[in-house]
Structure formats: structure tokens, C-alpha cells
């Protein structure tokens, strides 16, 4: 195969730039011109993948770049066409060392985003994952918004964290062998999709809307990119279910339920083990 290095031009160079950008190594434009910026990005990629650091894309680097790893979609697409306005978040750049996972209760990604636009409290997260796995980035994750509801901390944890919300129906109630969402038994709230059964009550619910495989794939891909881009420590608590005040100082990846004992997002059906393996997280 061909070798791409400084001075190379063309479609393949664009492919390389796109990929490096998605991985958070490349900040320049996708111009198909292998210049200084592309060279630096290739170097960073080679370094973080244990390859010879020569800033040349030969067969080994090419394969490492484009090899389809399970649960690490190489072509993670992020929809940036629906954005919040500056009044809806805090446009001040803060260092990040934490990712917090949430789910919505009811609603699509777009209805959630539209609701945030009408809410004056600047509650939002950078990312919303639709049921079909589409990732919406509604503001640049280098900025921040309130998403944790830890009032007594004055936003200290919100400031250093990136929120990801999974579109979901949340906890479900059971009546006469049927499941319902919104805590309401009615024809309209009858739940007929795939569910997760925890086997026992947890935070008020035994049954939950199951996160879809494509949503989990999207989270894994996104978490990988964000850990790389913001140097977020690749770690998560070994205890996946309980809240603890000490997590307010935690750096790594958490569920909202680990920061607040009154929250049931993410639900206990979340496949933490998959995330741990795919993002090479340390259990602490
Ligand atoms: Zn939440």
C-alpha cells in the first residue's frame, strides 16, 4: 500500500485527517494536505497506540487507525447541527476530569434539547444519545452547564464534568403483568419495548427501559474520544450501584446515581463491564 507522510495530498489524506479528528488528535481542517498539523496528530496517535513514532502513515499505522475494533465504532458520527445558545450553558472553559452518564425520563433527544432551550436555569449536558444511537453534541464540552443538581457544591462538580444523557423512558411500574412508564397506568403509558428486570427494587423501581445496543456503542465510542481529548482518567468505581459523597471528588467515569442516592440514572442494567473493557477503565 501507499505511504502517507508530510507533503502527501489527496482523498486518503482527508480520510486520515477525519479519523484523527474523530479521535481528538487533529484540530485542523480536512483539506487533504498532509502538513505540520497532520504530522503532529499522527505522532500523538502513534504514541497513544504503542506504534513507532515517525509521523508516517504506513501499513501498521493505517491499520491501527482504521481497524474496526468491537464496540469502538471507527466512524463515530456526531451530529452538531442542533446547538444550544450561549444563554443555555456557561461559556467559560474549564478543565475536565469527569464524565457523568444520565438518562432522560421520556422524550426523544430533540424534545430534551428543546426543553433545555426553554429552561432559564442553564441545565443541560453536552451530549444526548438518541434511541437509534445518534449522538447530538449541543454545546462544546470544553464549556459547562448544570447537570448534577448538587446545589450545595455551587456547581463545582458540574464545572469539571462532561454530561452524557441517554434518551430513555427510565423506571417502569408493573401492574397486572404489564409495564408502564411515567409512574402512570394508562393506555398511553403502556410500555411494550425491551426492558431490564433488576429482580428486586432499586431506587424505587425493579423494571427499566433497556438501553439499546447502539446507544451503548455510541457511549463507548464517545467516552473513548473524550478521555483522550480531555485527558480524563480511565477509571470508574468497582461498586456500580451505590452513591457515595466521596464521589464528588472522583475523577473518571460515573453514573448520576453514584453522585446522588435519589437518582435512578443510569439504571443497574447499564453494561459497565462492556464500558470498562472497551475503554480500558481501571476499577477502583
Ligand atoms: Zn441525571
**93, 190: one domain:** no
Q: What is the pTM of this model?
A: 0.76
Cα–ligand 1 centroid distance for 231 (angstroms): 23
Opening angle at CA 110, ends 107 and 112, nearest 5: 50
**61, 85: one domain:** no
H/E/C letters for each residue in 48-95?
HCCCCCCCCECHHHHHHHHCCECCECCCCCEECCCCCCHHHCECCCCC
Cα–ligand 1 centroid distance for 280 (angstroms): 24
**148, 183: one domain:** no
Question: Residue 6 falls within a domain, yes or no?
Answer: no
Which residue, 220, 217, 218, 203, is CA-closest to 259?
A: 203
**104, 155: one domain:** yes
Distance CA 138, CA 117 (A): 11
Cα–ligand 1 centroid distance for 107 (angstroms): 14
Residue with cell 482504521: 66
Question: Residue 3 falls within a domain, yes or no?
Answer: no
**135, 248: one domain:** yes
Q: How many other CB atoms are there within 10 angstroms of residue 47's CB atom?
A: 12
Cα–ligand 1 centroid distance for 190 (angstroms): 23
Cα–ligand 1 centroid distance for 15 (angstroms): 36
Domain limits at 223? Answer: 78-168+211-283
pLDDT means over runs of 10, the chain (284 residues) = 92 94 90 96 91 94 77 69 96 98 93 94 97 96 97 94 97 96 95 96 97 95 94 97 96 98 97 94 96
Which of 66, 91, 111 is the last residue in one of the domains? 66
**93, 204: one domain:** no
Q: What is the pLDDT of residue 50?
A: 84
To the nearest 10°, the Cα dihedral for 221, 225, 230, 231?
90
Question: Residue 2 falls within a domain, yes or no?
Answer: no
CATH number for position 273: 3.40.80.10
**200, 83: one domain:** no
Cα–ligand 1 centroid distance for 252 (angstroms): 17
Ramachandran region, residue 104 (left: φ > 0; alpha: ψ -120 to 50; beta: rest): beta
The three-class DSSP label of residue 1 is: coil
Cα–ligand 1 centroid distance for 157 (angstroms): 13
Domain count, the chain: 3
Question: Residue 5 falls within a domain, yes or no?
Answer: no
Cα–ligand 1 centroid distance for 246 (angstroms): 18
Cα–ligand 1 centroid distance for 169 (angstroms): 13
Cα–ligand 1 centroid distance for 256 (angstroms): 5
Q: What is the pLDDT of residue 34?
A: 97
Question: Residue 246 falls within a domain, yes or no?
Answer: yes
Note every long-range contact of 115-124, with CB atoms under 8 Å and residues 24 or more positions apart, other chains counting. Answer: 116/84, 116/88, 117/84, 117/85, 117/88, 119/88, 121/146, 122/87, 122/88, 122/89, 122/90, 122/146, 123/147, 124/84, 124/88, 124/89, 124/163
**197, 134: one domain:** no
Q: How many other CB atoms are there within 10 angstroms of residue 78's CB atom?
A: 14
Q: In this structure, are residues 167 and 107 in contact, taking their beta carbons and an 8 Å threshold?
A: yes
Q: What is the pLDDT of residue 124?
A: 97
Distance CA 104, CA 127 (A): 12
**158, 32: one domain:** no
Enumerate residues 6+ apart whose C-beta is below 8 A from 136. Answer: 78, 79, 80, 82, 109, 110, 113, 127, 128, 129, 130
Cα–ligand 1 centroid distance for 105 (angstroms): 9
**42, 162: one domain:** no
Cα–ligand 1 centroid distance for 187 (angstroms): 27
Question: Residue 73 falls within a domain, yes or no?
Answer: no
Give 242: exposed, middle or buried? Use CB within 10 Å, 0-12, 13-18, 19+: exposed
**216, 125: one domain:** yes
Cα–ligand 1 centroid distance for 40 (angstroms): 37
Cα–ligand 1 centroid distance for 229 (angstroms): 23
**128, 217: one domain:** yes
Question: Residue 216 falls within a domain, yes or no?
Answer: yes
Which of 208, 230, 260 is the last residue in one of the domains? 208
Residue with cell 468491537: 70
Question: Residue 58 falls within a domain, yes or no?
Answer: yes
Cα–ligand 1 centroid distance for 103 (angstroms): 6
CATH number for position 19: 1.10.101.10
Distance CA 125, CA 114 (A): 13
Cα–ligand 1 centroid distance for 265 (angstroms): 5
Cα–ligand 1 centroid distance for 104 (angstroms): 7
Grid coordinates representing 65?
487507525
Amino acid at each position: 500500500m501507499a505511504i502517507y507522510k508530510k507533503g502527501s495530498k489527496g482523498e486518503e489524506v482527508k480520510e486520515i485527517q477525519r479519523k484523527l479528528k474523530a479521535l481528538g488528535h487533529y484540530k485542523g481542517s480536512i483539506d487533504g494536505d498532509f502538513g505540520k498539523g497532520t504530522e503532529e496528530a499522527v505522532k500523538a496517535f502513534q504514541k497513544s497506540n504503542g506504534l513507532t513514532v515517525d509521523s508516517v502513515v504506513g501499513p501498521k499505522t493505517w491499520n491501527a487507525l482504521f481497524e474496526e475494533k468491537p464496540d469502538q465504532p471507527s466512524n463515530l458520527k456526531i451530529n452538531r447541527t442542533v446547538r444550544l445558545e450561549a444563554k443555555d450553558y456557561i461559556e467559560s472553559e474549564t478543565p475536565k476530569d469527569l464524565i457523568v452518564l444520565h438518562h432522560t425520563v421520556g422524550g426523544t433527544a430533540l424534545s430534551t434539547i428543546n426543553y433545555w432551550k426553554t429552561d432559564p436555569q442553564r441545565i443541560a449536558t453536552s451530549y444526548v444519545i438518541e434511541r437509534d444511537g445518534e449522538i447530538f453534541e449541543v454545546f462544546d464540552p470544553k464549556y459547562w452547564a448544570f447537570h448534577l443538581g448538587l446545589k450545595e457544591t455551587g456547581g463545582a462538580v458540574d464545572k469539571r464534568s462532561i454530561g452524557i444523557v441517554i434518551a430513555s423512558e427510565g423506571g417502569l411500574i408493573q401492574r397486572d403483568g404489564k409495564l408502564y412508564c411515567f409512574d402512570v397506568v394508562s393506555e398511553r403509558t403502556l410500555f411494550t419495548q425491551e426492558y431490564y428486570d433488576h429482580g428486586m427494587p432499586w431506587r424505587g423501581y425493579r423494571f427499566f427501559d433497556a438501553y439499546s445496543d447502539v446507544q451503548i456503542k455510541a457511549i463507548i465510542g464517545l467516552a473513548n474520544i473524550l478521555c483522550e481529548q480531555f485527558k480524563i482518567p480511565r477509571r470508574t468505581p468497582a461498586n456500580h450501584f451505590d452513591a457515595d459523597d466521596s464521589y464528588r471528588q472522583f475523577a473518571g467515569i460515573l453514573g448520576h446515581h453514584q453522585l446522588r442516592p435519589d437518582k435512578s440514572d443510569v439504571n443497574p442494567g447499564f453494561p459497565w463491564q462492556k464500558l470498562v473493557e472497551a475503554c480500558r477503565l481501571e476499577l477502583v
